[in-house]
Amino acid sequence: MEQTVSDFLALLKIPISPKYIEKLIQAHPDFPSLLSISDIFLRLGINHQVTRIEKERLPELPFPYLIPLDKGRGDIIVIKNGDSLKKYENQLGEWSGVVVLAETTKTTTDKENNDLYYQESKIRKYAISIILALAALLLLSFINSFSWVNAFLLVMSIAGLAVGYLLFAKELGISYAAVDAFCNAGKNTNCDKVLTSEVTLLGVSFSDAVLTYFLFQTITLGFSSFLPGQAQPILFPLATLSLLTLPVVIFSFYYQYVKAKTWCRLCLIVDAILILQTYLFGYSIYNDAFMWHGISGVLLIVLALVVLAIYSSVLAIKASIERYEKLNQQGGVGNGVKHTASVFASFLTRQKKIDTQPFETEMLLGNSDVPIKIIMASNLYCNPCKKKHEVADQLVAMYPDKVNITLRFIRSGNDVVYKTESLRHLLGYWHQFIHGKDDESQNTLKLMNNWFTLWDLQKFMKIYPTKPDDAEVEKLEAQHYTWIDEVGITHTPTFFINGYELPKEYIIEDLLAMTPALADSINKTAESEMTLQHV
């Protein structure tokens, strides 16, 4: 069933990640019913219609469309064209007359699907780049033979490659206890803060650049050991590249010391290797250990193709890992039970109940009169909070009549260390220019998105200036901190659903799948209680 639905959407040329759509359908509480398909289409923002029609009128419908068979097992067929209709004519005897029609669209409203589709598109492009580059290298190897040898530089390249992998892994969220301990040992050291910055090297992330550079060196120097007579021509290009890394090293020191105000030990190791390699190349040239032999155009093309193939491989691996993690987070068939409203409610009502009395002025995303009210306690400098804010925004966008999000904030350790007042400034601008104005929810959402994009108080203050010493804002800030202390928030982000803390068995992404059913359950419970009160 789920594969047939993804094939149907592909026929409509709707940009989807097939595996993601299949997992969404499998995880639906009513899988394999037709309702699971309709709800997923609604989640994706696909205009569709479920209707009954006479068998004789099927050829009049616009192709393609879905025909669910009346077997009770979720059997469904896709009718692509007239020939397909003839092919399944015998199976139409098990058909109840229901047809699913859908309109094509160039985009979907599901952020996870959009991200996965984009990543899968990148994987395909990178794979093509790798194949073309390797094919060209294979062709050139027949017309030009080259090699270089430098054992010590190879050892340094391997060391750099190892560190490059650790940087790459950290960016993807793959952690190693020993590496984390090394990165955070001592005073004023924090690899994560430096690596999660959005600073790039000509559009390339630091980890991608390091891994590509040292992998290139390792491969080229490694192959040169088998062809020692051809080592000389490659040394000058490598020496030139090594010299060009010095500005990067200088910028790395500057950024860590001046901007980030903390040190990344892994980055410092990379800097040290680059400096040592540059010294070794310079020493070799000065002592005539190798001389300029002239570089052919073919050699330059080969080097460029090697770099292209390696960089494309790095990006392809990165995109594949991210895609796998996103798909893995969605769960599978077992989530159908987990995402049942009654199951979730049974877990939820066993959690800690908190005071949900609203502040006099609340930062609220969405409408106030909805069945599902979520309080999100977060930290302005918390990377997981940044990611979960995106999910919260998506919830409100997908279900504006069912969900709202109240934002409350913990005191940031970053503000304590650097003696700043990020929350006060954020609240100040919001209170002065957004609260009580038209489109308050949309502008609040935009303000938060811009904060997490800039993630720098000084830059934020330049774009969003406020008047100083606002007593009401200080009072509101104090309310946030008092509430945090009273509730006992120990980690961020923390979510509360209708006054109950989100169970540890669930993550906020789970609400994307079960919001419609959960909202209906809450509304029915409220109606029953009102009926009992009037009896």
Spell out a b/e string for 344-377, using b for 16 or more CB atoms within 10 Å of the CB, else e: bbeebeeeeebeeeeeebbbbbbeeebbbbbbbb
* Higher per-residue confidence, 104 vs 152: 104
* pLDDT tens-digit map of 440-477: 999 999 999 999 888 888 889 999 998 776 788 889 99
- Is 293's pLDDT higher than 60? no
What's 258's DSSP letter?
Answer: I
* pLDDT tens-digit map of 79-89: 888 888 888 88
Q: Considering the domain boundaries, does residue 194 fall inside one?
A: yes
pLDDT confidence bin for 362, thresholds 50/70/90: very high
Q: Considering the domain boundaries, does residue 14 fall inside one?
A: yes
| Proportion of the chain in helix, strand, coil states, percent, rounded to 5 | 60, 10, 30
Question: Residues 436, 439, 445, 450: what is their CA dihedral angle, to the nearest 10 degrees?
Answer: -90
What's 81's DSSP letter?
Answer: S
Q: Considering the domain boundaries, does residue 157 fall inside one?
A: yes
pLDDT given at position 435: 92
| Residue 194 and residue 84 share a domain | no
Q: If you count DSSP H runs as helices and E runs as strands, how many of each does the chain have, helices first? A: 22, 11
**Domain total in the chain:** 3
Q: And the tokens for 391?
A: 């999910």
Q: Which residue has the tokens 């229901």?
A: 98
* pLDDT tens-digit map of 370-393: 999 999 999 898 878 888 999 999
* pLDDT tens-digit map of 473-505: 889 999 999 999 888 887 888 999 999 999 887
* pLDDT tens-digit map of 40-81: 898 888 999 888 888 888 888 888 888 888 755 557 888 888
Of 17, 12, 76, residue with least CA distance to 46: 12
Q: Which residue has the tokens 């959009």?
A: 114
pLDDT given at position 535: 47
Cα–Cα distances (Å) from 463 to 367, 426, 458, 459, in that order, read 27, 11, 9, 7
- Per the document, the length of the chain is 535
Q: And the tokens for 522?
A: 């809450």
| Residue 136 and residue 21 share a domain | no
Which whole number is the average pLDDT over 279-302?
A: 66
- Please report, for the domain that includes residue 77, its CATH number: 3.90.70.10
- Is 246's pLDDT higher than 80? yes
pLDDT given at position 376: 95
pLDDT confidence bin for 528, thresholds 50/70/90: low
Spell out a b/e string for 425-459, using b for 16 or more CB atoms within 10 Å of the CB, else e: bbbbbbbbebbeeeeebeebbebbeebbebbebee
| Residue 376 and residue 317 share a domain | no
* pLDDT tens-digit map of 398-431: 999 999 999 999 988 667 665 678 899 999 999 9
- How many whole angstroms separate alpha carbon 111 and alpha carbon 394? 7
**Which residue type is seen at 181?**
A
pLDDT given at position 479: 92
| Residue 116 and residue 25 share a domain | no
pLDDT given at position 405: 95
pLDDT given at position 142: 43
Helix (H) or strand (E) holding 19: helix 18-27
Q: Considering the domain boundaries, does residue 396 fall inside one?
A: yes
Q: Note down the domain range covering 421.
A: 351-533
CB 372 within 8 A of CB 412: no
What DSSP string runs through 140-172?
A: HHTT-------HHHHHHHHHHHHHHHHHHHHHT
pLDDT given at position 427: 93
- What average pLDDT is seen over the chain? 80
What's 203's DSSP letter?
Answer: T
Cα–Cα distances (Å) from 384 to 81, 173, 332, in that order, read 47, 11, 24
- How many whole angstroms separate alpha carbon 535 and alpha carbon 532? 5
pLDDT confidence bin for 336, thresholds 50/70/90: low
Helix, strand, or coil here: 374? strand
| Residue 241 and residue 127 share a domain | yes
* pLDDT tens-digit map of 119-150: 888 877 876 776 676 556 445 544 444 444 45
Peptide bond into 233 cis (omega under 30): no
Q: Considering the domain boundaries, does residue 246 fall inside one?
A: yes
Q: Considering the domain boundaries, does residue 334 fall inside one?
A: no
Q: Give first-to-last CA distance, the chain, whole Å.
A: 46
**Which residue type is seen at 242?**
S
353: β partners? 500
Q: Considering the domain boundaries, does residue 344 fall inside one?
A: no
- Is 300's pLDDT higher than 90? no
Q: Considering the domain boundaries, does residue 331 fall inside one?
A: no
- Is 286's pLDDT higher than 80? no
CA angle, 299 then 305 then 307, to 5°:
105
Cα–Cα distances (Å) from 254 to 185, 194, 248, 250, 402, in that order, read 21, 12, 10, 6, 48
| Residue 117 and residue 82 share a domain | no
pLDDT given at position 454: 84
| Residue 234 and residue 151 share a domain | yes
Q: And the tokens for 260?
A: 């980030």
- Please report, for the domain that includes residue 456, its CATH number: 3.40.30.10
pLDDT given at position 338: 75
* Higher per-residue confidence, 297 vs 207: 207
* pLDDT tens-digit map of 431-444: 999 998 889 999 99
Helix (H) or strand (E) holding 372: strand 372-378
Cα–Cα distances (Å) from 509 to 147, 326, 505, 513, in that order, read 52, 11, 12, 8
pLDDT given at position 289: 53
Beta strands in 11-142 (DSSP E): 48-52, 65-68, 76-79, 98-102
* Higher per-residue confidence, 152 vs 392: 392
* Higher per-residue confidence, 317 vs 4: 4
| Residue 143 and residue 44 share a domain | no
pLDDT given at position 191: 77
Helix, strand, or coil here: 341? helix
- Please say which residue of 77, 102, 127 terminates a domain: 102
CB 214 within 8 A of CB 208: no
| Residue 443 and residue 302 share a domain | no
- How many whole angstroms separate alpha carbon 407 and alpha carbon 29? 29
pTM: 0.54
- Is 179's pLDDT higher than 80? no
Cα–Cα distances (Å) from 110 to 118, 365, 411, 452, 500, in that order, read 12, 18, 32, 21, 26
CB 493 within 8 A of CB 373: no
pLDDT above 70 covers a percentage of the chain that reads: 79
pLDDT given at position 224: 60
